[in-house]
């Protein structure tokens, strides 16, 4: 199945229903969007001489034209290469060159006159490339995860099975980049005939989000944990009465923050664990388990149709029809990542007897001191209990005797203060002495990538 059928089938059933809105204004019905996509597909193939399987790269802020171009690529049998609009020019250059893109768009105005005559959707096979997803590249150059039509179909069906049942009366807000998780979760909403709402700001603004939740009933949205923390801190924060679901993931959500989010949003949070190589779909913690503090420390259990296990080394591995076909033009990395038919996530975790998965840390972030394994997240969870601590990140620093020692970078809340001794006492009261930080660095902010993930490689460089 070609995933453009998510759009086309909804257009046949519900041509007059709103498909895309910007702020409070509808800009596309399902009928008008389907026609625009068909005409753009014709223009792409005729004016650029593109053939089935060719790659089309684009980097745009969240806007209606993003969806037009994405669906037009699939309608024409092409592979989309969405890029985060916040990347550096050198990163764009690398991705466009590595993907071998035959066409590239950086502004929606570049294809205003591209439309040709409407055409029939291309026939594709389930294993054909649909989305070439480039990893964030925090540990080296980005790699292109090859996501097929089968992968996207599986992720969409898993949304319906595990997170929400959707219908034409529902909506999804897109404050997070469409080139990442928010775009992937737009697909089930198109398949159900719901409306995709893009904030007028084109991105994340807490006050705007709360306003849109009032305007669009039964709305959901995907957010990185850092975005939820900003929502909680907003003066506009209120409990939206018609909110459907907040799905969060992409980085660890600390328990203290999750509890505050539950207080504000109620039993509407769904935690997901996934990677670009298995997009948004490895494990999930459903809404009802957010009432259980012990379960809240986990990232849930395997999604429908997904297998998860932990190797003797502690590494989490998974397999399902959501796992990528491999890395683009990188057979060595593919063989390593998919060894034995399982995707090696690079994360360290443990499974309890009920199948709930707890992520301890990234394997590369684990600290080994005096022969003992120390997981930074465990220490970070403790430090965040202090009322003055807004954010923190723990890394290892080379030590001549112990191999590594623990260092904590700490961001304090505005108008709050604390001393190293207070933080030390908090750690000693909650974790083993050998795990406590040997040094605390108070900083104004933590370095992060465009998806909100803390760049621990940058913190290590500072040491």
Question: Once rounded to an integer, what is the mean pLDDT over residues 241-260?
Answer: 85
DSSP assignment letter at 302: E
For residue 362, give the H/E element and its range: strand 357-362
The two tokens of residue 54 are: 């060719």
Q: Where are the chain's structural domains?
A: 5-360, 366-462
| C-beta neighbour count of 264 within 10 angstroms | 18
User: Which of 115-124, 177-186, 286-295, 358-367 shows the lowest per-residue confidence on average (mean pLDDT)?
Assistant: 358-367
For helices 225-233 and 255-265, angle between their N-to-C axes, nearest 10 degrees = 60
Q: Is the pLDDT of residue 164 over 80?
A: yes
Question: Once rounded to an integer, what is the mean pLDDT over residues 176-202?
Answer: 94
CATH of the structural domain 366-462, one choice from 3.40.50.300, 1.10.40.30, 3.50.50.60, 3.30.300.30: 3.30.300.30
C-alpha 179/C-alpha 451 separation (Å) is: 10
Digit-coded pLDDT (tens) for 387-442: 999 999 999 998 877 878 999 999 999 899 899 999 999 998 888 788 899 999 99
Q: Which residue has the tokens 């039993």?
A: 267
Contact present, 205 and 223 (Cβ < 8 Å): no
Of 349, 402, 412, give the one whose Cα is nearest residue 378.
349
Q: Which residue has the tokens 């954010």?
A: 391
- How far the first Cα of the chain sits from its last, in Å, is 51
Q: Is the pLDDT of residue 139 over 70?
A: no
Quote the pLDDT of residue 450.
Answer: 67
Res. 240 pLDDT band, cuts 50 70 90: confident
DSSP assignment letter at 135: P
Quote the pLDDT of residue 373.
Answer: 76
The C-alpha R_g of the chain, in whole angstroms, comes to 22
C-alpha 71/C-alpha 78 separation (Å) is: 10
Q: Is the pLDDT of residue 191 over 50?
A: yes
Residues 6+ apart with CB under 8 A from 227: 175, 176, 204, 452
Res. 229 pLDDT band, cuts 50 70 90: confident
Q: Is the pLDDT of residue 138 over 60?
A: no
Query: Helical H runs in 100-224?
Result: 149-162, 181-191, 206-215
Contact present, 291 and 261 (Cβ < 8 Å): no
- The fraction of the chain above a pLDDT of 90, given in percent, is 65
Q: Is the pLDDT of residue 179 over 80?
A: yes
Query: Helical H runs in 76-163?
Result: 89-99, 149-162
Q: Is the pLDDT of residue 45 over 80?
A: yes
- Kind of pairing, strands 219-223 and 245-248? parallel
Q: Is the pLDDT of residue 216 over 90?
A: yes
DSSP assignment letter at 140: S
- The fraction of the chain above a pLDDT of 70, given in percent, is 98
The hierarchical CATH code for the domain 5-360 is: 3.40.50.12780
Contact present, 274 and 282 (Cβ < 8 Å): yes
Q: Give 45-67 as a 3 state SS string.
A: HHHHCCCCCCEEEECCCCCHHHH
Q: Is the pLDDT of residue 110 over 80?
A: no
10 Å CB burial of residue 176 (0-12, 13-18, 19+) is: buried
More confident residue, 84 or 164: 164
- For residue 148, report the phi and psi dihedrals to the nearest 5 degrees: -95, 170
* Average pLDDT value for the chain: 91
Of 408, 401, 397, give the one whose Cα is nearest residue 437.
408
């Amino acid at each position: 199945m070609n995933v453009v059928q998510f759009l086309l089938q909804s257009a046949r059933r519900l041509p007059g229903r709103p498909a895309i809105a910007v702020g409070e204004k509808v800009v596309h019905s399902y009928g008008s969007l389907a026609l625009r996509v068909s005409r753009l597909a014709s223009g792409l193939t005729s004016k650029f001489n593109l053939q089935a399987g060719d790659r089309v790269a684009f980097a745009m802020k969240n806007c209606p034209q993003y969806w037009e171009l994405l669906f037009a690529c699939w309608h024409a049998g092409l592979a989309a290469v969405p890029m985060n609009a916040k990347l550096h020019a050198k990163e764009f250059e690398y991705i466009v060159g590595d993907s071998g893109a035959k066409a590239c768009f950086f502004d929606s105005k570049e294809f205003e006159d591209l439309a040709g005559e409407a055409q029939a959707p291309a026939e594709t096979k389930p294993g054909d490339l649909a989305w070439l997803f480039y990893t964030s590249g925090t540990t080296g150059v980005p790699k292109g995860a090859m996501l097929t039509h089968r992968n996207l179909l599986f992720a969409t069906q898993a949304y319906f099975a595990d997170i929400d049942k959707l219908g034409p009366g529902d909506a999804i807000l897109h404050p997070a980049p469409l080139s990442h998780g928010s775009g992937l979760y737009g697909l089930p909403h198109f398949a159900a005939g719901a409306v995709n709402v893009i904030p007028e700001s084109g991105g994340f603004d807490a006050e705007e989000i709360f306003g849109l939740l009032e305007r669009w009933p039964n709305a959901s949205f995907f957010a990185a944990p850092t975005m939820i923390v900003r929502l909680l801190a907003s003066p506009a924060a209120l409990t939206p009465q018609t909110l459907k679901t907040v799905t969060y993931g992409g980085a660890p959500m600390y328990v203290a923050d999750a509890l505050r989010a539950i207080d504000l949003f109620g039993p509407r949070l769904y935690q997901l664990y996934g990677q670009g190589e298995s997009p948004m779909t490895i494990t999930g913690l459903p809404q009802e388990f957010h009432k259980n503090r012990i379960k809240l420390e986990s990232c849930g259990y395997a999604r429908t149709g997904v297998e998860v296990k932990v190797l003797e080394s502690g590494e989490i591995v998974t397999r399902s029809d959501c796992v990528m076909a491999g890395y683009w033009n990188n057979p060595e990395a593919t063989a390593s990542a998919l060894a034995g038919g399982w995707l090696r996530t690079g994360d360290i975790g443990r499974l309890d007897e009920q199948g709930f998965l707890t992520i301890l840390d990234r394997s590369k972030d684990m600290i080994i001191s005096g022969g003992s394994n120390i997981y930074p997240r465990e220490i970070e969870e403790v430090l965040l209990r202090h009322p003055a601590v807004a954010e923190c990140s723990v890394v290892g620093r080379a030590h001549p005797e112990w191999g590594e020692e623990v260092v904590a970078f700490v961001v304090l809340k505005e108008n709050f203060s604390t001393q190293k001794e207070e933080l030390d006492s908090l750690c000693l009261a909650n974790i083993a002495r050998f795990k406590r930080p040997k040094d605390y660095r108070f900083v104004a902010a933590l370095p992060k990538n465009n998806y909100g993930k803390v760049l621990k490689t940058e913190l290590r460089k500072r040491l």
